[in-house]
């Protein structure tokens, strides 16, 4: 389930709520009980790395995208692209 951020326009209270995507947005502030909540637009701050169930159970061969260490990923990226790509 996604984590949504809310801010109250009345008291400026900010909080996060774990909700289903199909749930209606919250409207009542838990701090002041006014119906002035606004859902904020935010980006996810994480990246799934490693060899978790998705990489090991549903992908095979060259389609697997297992995370590499930072140094080896940089070497691979720089060696496999041209100088106009902007990645190095």
Report the 3 state secondary structure along the chain.
CCEEEEEECCCCCEEEEECCCCCCCCCCCCCCCCCCEEEECCCCCCCCCCCCHHHHHCCCHHHCCCCCCHHHHHHHHHHCCCCCCCCC
- With a CB cutoff of 8 Å and minimum separation 6, the contacts of 31 are 8, 11, 13
Ranges of each domain in the chain: 3-40
> What pLDDT does 76 receive?
47
pLDDT in tens, 20-73: 889 999 999 999 999 999 999 887 655 556 666 665 666 566 665 555 545 544
């Amino acid at each position: 389930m996604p984590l949504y951020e809310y801010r109250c326009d009345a008291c400026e209270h900010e909080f996060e709520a774990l909700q289903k995507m199909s749930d209606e947005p919250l409207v009542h502030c838990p701090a002041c009980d006014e119906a002035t909540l606004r859902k904020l637009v935010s980006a996810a701050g994480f990246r799934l790395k490693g060899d978790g169930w998705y990489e090991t159970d549903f992908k095979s061969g060259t389609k697997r995208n297992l995370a590499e260490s930072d140094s080896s990923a940089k070497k691979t990226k720089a060696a496999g692209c041209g100088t106009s790509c902007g990645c190095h």
